[in-house]
Structure 1
Amino acid sequence: MKTREVEHRERGRADHNVDRGMTPPVDRMTDHRFGVSGFADEIGPDLDEQLDVLESLGISRLDLRSVGETNVLDLSDQQVSRVRSELDERGIQVTSIGSPIGKIAITDEFEPHLERFERAIEVADAFDTDRIRLFSYYVPEDDDPEQHRDEVLRRMDAKVERAEAAGVTLLHENEKDIYGDTPGRCRDLLTTIDSPNFRAIFDPANFLEIGVRPYPDALLQLIEYVEQLHVKDAQFGERGAVEPAGDGDGQIPATISALADRGFDGPASLEPHLERAGERSGYSGPGGYELAAEALFECLDSVDATYE
């Protein structure tokens, strides 16, 4: 008898790198909309300042990555409760847990990381969100990513099975230098694992930084799996040259339009990285964050996208 993992792997290989056309458009007049959100820790470490800036921009959601320079997974239960109370008092919902799960080397030990993943599920429940951002492991610099495919899939499949049991959705971000940094390998993961609890974050800037055109090239391969848009722009093939939406080569208005035509109903999350882009976080400052938010609003308005 074939195991679920083997069956998924065989099916995924047959579908690996298939280039599919866009899904037929839907009626935009139906109740599909972008929920504007953002990684508020890029404003600064202080939660009150973060919430003040979000409120001034009319944004009522955030992606929770860190508070006071402490990663959300490292907050104590008491700290989690306090942060949840502050968010509730200010009317702010948590869109996703911006976890660092999967941001270790594929050669690192897995079991301790799986225990940390369990904490991500607990924190997601505490903040009443069913979305957890994660990654697919750094590949050693001189290695062919394909030689690590089976181990990546084994680890991802273990987490997805746990997510299915917990009722959460794992959102894979196409981060630079991980296994799933190209559209083909992202699609390979998604089609092989083949679970409604495993979907994609589409980050145009991350594709640009590795020399991939996010629109239309990457989006053509991934659009049916995209459940969250990370909003930052960049110059093609240049690492670290992150810009507000619409100022780079990401064709973000066209991406928004294509998602809207497909009936996208999910978060568009600001992750500007305008002043600093670190492995575990980024920083834009209050002014930079406001600039990035206004750029996103302009992109949404330019294609008549519905958002809130």
Structure 2
Amino acid sequence: MSADRAFTFAGIGDEAGRSLAEQIEAHRQLGWSTIELRNVDGTPLAELSDTAFDEVAATLDRVGLRVVCVDSQIANWARPITGDFALDLIELDRLAKRCAALDTRYVRVMSYPNDGMDDVEWGAQVRLRLRMLAERAEAAGLVLLHENCAGWAGTDPYKARRLIEEVDSPALRLLFDIGNGVAYGYEAYEMLGPLLPWVEHVHVKDARKDGDEVVYTLPGEGICRVSDCVRMLLDAGYTGTWTMEPHLQVRPHEGRSDASPDGVTRFVEYGRAMERLVVGSQGVPC
């Protein structure tokens, strides 16, 4: 397929397998030259030992696989607004050095789940923390990408816009995940429109509801209007990476962090489906 000539595709590597070797193999089979990193051998990138990280960086360089984004734990579903902010500052400082070694500038963040605060105080604390994080990121040459997931600005486009506008930093932009709305109770397509000017990175996933359960599907087989979202982004001039996050097996927020033995095969199947959907969406009006 000639898709790679017009589009940049990547996958969150640990959804193919725990080991870096499995993550590389999945991308090799797809013919992709970019990867998004989250965990290697079950360990978040920031928590790898220096020796382990150096090996990861050297291996990726050797095989010619470029890191397009690092998915941090900063402000994520496991770090509520009442948690220790020092953990996020330490992680960002550590990732700044590692991102430099990987020659990437994007770091995925969220905006802190609530923990007993009223909405006004919660939002004020989130904006304060993200402003401080963005200042550090800008000094380090990084861009924080806020994902529409867990946190104060995760499910409401107007809160996400307020976060961007009040932090007012080139080091804070948006990562839009097309498939998060089913789990978090909103329509992705409706959320995307007001946020288009600030979207610099995209995750592709799809899902449907089976009773109270969220069932993740191949892109285009769920209810997330993936094709419509892709067309909206293309019509708006989006030229960034399309990163797949299948969630067919690996869902860290649910404690499911290990792909099955056929993880690489399923990852490649998903990647082919994403290529077909994205390439097939170009030039079609919303």
TM-score normalised to structure 1 length: 0.82
What's the C-alpha RMSD, in Å, of the aligned pairs?
2.0
CA offset digits 1:84-127 (Å, max 9, x no partner):
11111111000011111112010112123312221121211111
**Corresponding residue to 1:85 among 55, 58, 79:** 58
Deviation at 1:210, TM superposition (A): 2.1
Aligned to 1:188: 162
Aligned to 1:110: 85
CA contact (8 A) 1:273 1:282 kept: no
Aligned to 1:228: 201
CA contact (8 A) 1:94 1:129 kept: yes
Q: How many correspondences in the alignment?
A: 271
CA contact (8 A) 1:276 1:282 kept: yes
SS of 2:149's equivalent in the other structure is coil
Higher strand fraction: Structure 1 or Structure 2? 2
Aligned to 1:246: 220
Q: Give 1:157-236 correspondences, 5 Å limit.
A: 157-176=131-150, 178-182=151-155, 183-215=157-189, 217-235=190-208
CA contact (8 A) 1:54 1:60 kept: yes
Once residues 21 and 13 of structure 2 are traced to their aligned partners in structure 1, the CA distance between those partners, rounded to angstroms, is 10
- The one-letter code sitting in structure 2 at the alignment partner of 1:53 is A
SS of 2:137's equivalent in the other structure is helix
Q: Is structure 2 residue 15 aligned with structure 1 residue 37?
A: no
Percent identity of paired positions between Structure 1 and Structure 2: 32
CA contact (8 A) 2:29 2:268 kept: no
Change in Cα spacing, 1:263 to 1:235, as seen in structure 2 (3 Å) is same
Once residues 106 and 147 of structure 1 are traced to their aligned partners in structure 2, the CA distance between those partners, rounded to angstroms, is 10
TM-score normalised to structure 2 length: 0.88
User: Of the two structures, which has the highest relative contact order with CA contacts closer than 8 Å and spacing of 6 or more?
Assistant: 1
Aligned to 1:301: 279
Once residues 197 and 126 of structure 1 are traced to their aligned partners in structure 2, the CA distance between those partners, rounded to angstroms, is 19
**Corresponding residue to 1:138 among 110, 113, 138:** 113
Gaps of 5+ in 1: 1-31
Once residues 213 and 162 of structure 2 are traced to their aligned partners in structure 1, the CA distance between those partners, rounded to angstroms, is 25
Which aligned segments of 4 or more residues in structure 1 are displaced greater than 4 angstroms?
236-239, 280-284
Once residues 51 and 258 of structure 2 are traced to their aligned partners in structure 1, the CA distance between those partners, rounded to angstroms, is 26
CA contact (8 A) 2:149 2:184 kept: no
SS of 1:173's equivalent in the other structure is strand
Q: Give 1:94-109 correspondences, 5 Å limit.
A: 94-103=67-76, 104-109=79-84
Gaps of 5+ in 2: none
Aligned to 1:10: none
